[in-house]
Structure 1
Amino acid sequence: MTIGLIIIGDEILSGKRVDQHFPKVVQLLAARGLQLGWAEYLGDDPERITATLRRTFATSDIVFSCGGIGATPDDHTRQAAAAALGRPLVLHEEGRRNIEQRIVQVAREAGKEADLNAPENLQRLKMAEFAAGASLIPNPYNNVAGFALGTHYFVPGFPVMAWPMIEWVLDTHHADLHNREARAERSVLVWEAAESALTPLMEALESAFAGIKVFSLPSVGDAHTRRHIELGVKGAPDQVEVAFARLCAGLDALHAEYSPPPG
């Protein structure tokens, strides 16, 4: 089961805001022995969001979607999720109660009496309109919930809300996956080598070890560091050490200069 991440918002694509979700989700997953399989960035385009979700709903992937679940005209994720599944938008009763409780709380803190029928408060209730069959994801920041449809989880774009909600999902719905598949990684720095010269060795390693991926991270160097490639293997721990020994032997056969990476 692959884990995917969708990040939604014109403000990300325009550069008005810098995405913080990708590195944080990678960190949250790594802390549980998990890793991200793919990520996509989308603008506030309802047709594109719908098409993307229609495609991902057709998989068995665990998908986190950040952003676009508010009630302003540029928020389309709730509607797109419903359209992708061919379901109607319905007012989630528990979600409605959560929002009304929040409205009352904010009014009391301001020394006022809440009018739940005021137009602005009725507009806020749209944040509890989800595709039929959705379940709630609790929001510890302001109690305005996100929602889940199967293994798709929709949270706000605000990191202070999204990140604890994603953690809750991982620990509540997918704790069985935590540390289920241990992974290891070993690498070396290969100095002044061309990737093309190392490609046959990389291909041979992946062919020989089914549970291993070979990675190559080239650097052009600078005034302080020579040109080099970080070459390594990652995957099942019981294969990594053997594959790494084979990698080093292959580098020796090529008379390549290499050393351990710093740290």
Structure 2
Amino acid sequence: MTESSLIRFGLLLIGDEILNGRKSDAHLPAMIPRFAQRGLELSWVRMVTDDAGLITQTLKQTFDSGDIVFSFGGIGATPDDLTRQCAAAALGVALELHPEADTEIRAQVGDRLNAHHLRMGEFPVGSSVIPNPINRIPGFSINRHHFVPGFPDMAWPMVEWVLDHDYVHLQAPGRQVSQTLHLTDTSEGPLIPMMETLLQEFPDLRLACLPNAEHRREVELTLKGAPEQVVAGMNRMRELLRALPP
């Protein structure tokens, strides 16, 4: 089993506007192909409203998990931007103005600089910066958590930078493939013993069973994993299907 198969990636989406329906999340559909292009995949996504206690509690859990996490939103300077403070609280450390962030912010803002601008460079002690190619106001990384703005034009290239700067050793484009078998005139129930047998024989494969959403008697079975395993698994699945009673 490879190192990357033991590591989970997650997304943390922060903001009232997603949960109250004012905005639709654009980050998850944008991240899936970016991870896939690098032979990586997401294991979980969590959405959290702008509540300091809940954000802090969530971050405590994700810091303890050891997962690699990308957090979107809440790192600006307005009173509802709470992520920087909550990350520090979750880790039990102080916030301080990061010297590299200080330099970037001053270069971007120039004579308009004020305390609110510099507040956006206050990160939990021990953080490193994530460059922002759009307006030079950086995000930050600490404990395998990477905090970027909620604005897609900034956030997405910043995530790509982190993936290609910190996690190249985990990338393996084309490492995994998937194949899908479409079955008609059946439902998932009679297929369960066959699926259990298949996974016992191919424990490294991922199997997904998707019944027809319109309640027709159709099922899609998908196997995902290393190319040679998927080919062998699909061949074995066909054998097991042929052995099922009519």
Change (3 A) 1:233 1:94: same
After superposition, give the CA deviation of every residue in 1:90-119 in whole Å (9 maximum; x if it has no partner): 111221221122112xxxxxxxxx253xxx
Equivalent of 2:109, from 80, 84, 103? 103
Q: By how many angstroms is 1:253 displaced? A: 2.1
| Pair 1:238-2:234 in alignment | no
Partner of 2:83: 77
- Is residue 49 of structure 1 aligned with residue 55 of structure 2? yes
Task: Decide which of 21, 42, 48 is 1:15's aligned counterpart.
Answer: 21
Which aligned runs of 4 or more in structure 1 are off by greater than 6 angstroms?
none
Deviation, structure 1 residue 181: 7.8
Structure number, greater radius of gyration: 1
Alignment of 1:1-263 (within 5 A): 1-104=7-110, 114-116=111-113, 121-179=114-172, 182-221=175-214, 226-254=216-244
Contact 2:36 2:173 in 1 (8 A): no
Quote the Cα distance in structure 2 between the aligned partners of 1:175 and 1:101.
30
Query: Which secondary structure does the structure 2 equivalent of 1:29 belong to?
Result: helix
Q: Could you say what secondary structure the match of 1:171 adopts? A: helix
Q: How well do the aligned residues superpose, as a CA RMSD in angstroms?
A: 1.6
Question: 2:4 maps to what in 1?
Answer: none
Pairwise CA distance, 1:180:
7.2
**SS at 1:187's partner residue?**
strand
> What is the CA distance between 1:147 and its match in structure 2?
0.2
Q: Quick one: which amino acid aligns to residue 243 of structure 1?
A: G
Q: Give the distance between the partners of 1:186 and 1:180, measured in 2 at CA.
A: 17
Is the contact between residue 7 and residue 66 of structure 1 (CA under 8 Å) also seen in structure 2? Answer: yes
CA–CA distance in 1 between the matches of 2:235 and 2:214?
A: 26
For 2:20 and 2:243, the matched residues in 1 are separated by: 49
Q: Normalising by structure 1, what TM-score?
A: 0.87
Q: Which runs of 5+ in 1 are unaligned?
A: 105-113, 257-263
> Which is worse superposed, 236-245 or 143-152?
236-245
Identity %: 46
CA contact (8 A) 1:95 1:128 kept: yes
Q: 3-state DSSP class of the match of 1:230?
A: strand
- Residue 120 of structure 2 aligns to a residue in which SS? helix
Cα distance in 2 for partners of 1:157, 1:31 equals 22
| Cα deviation 1:212-238 (Å, max 9, x = unaligned) | 11111111438xxx5411112111222
When residues 200 and 75 of structure 1 are mapped into structure 2, their CA distance, relative to the original with a 3 A threshold, is same
One-letter amino acid of the structure 1 residue matched with residue 244 of structure 2 = L
Relative to the length of structure 2, the TM-score reads: 0.93
Aligned residue type for 1:96: D
Alignment check: 8 A CA contact 2:105 2:137 kept:
yes
Contact 1:67-1:157 at 8 Å conserved across structures: yes
Preserved contact between residue 34 and residue 179 of structure 1 (Cα < 8 Å): yes
Tell me the SS of whatever aligns to 2:65. Answer: coil
Q: Which runs of 5+ in 2 are unaligned?
A: 1-6
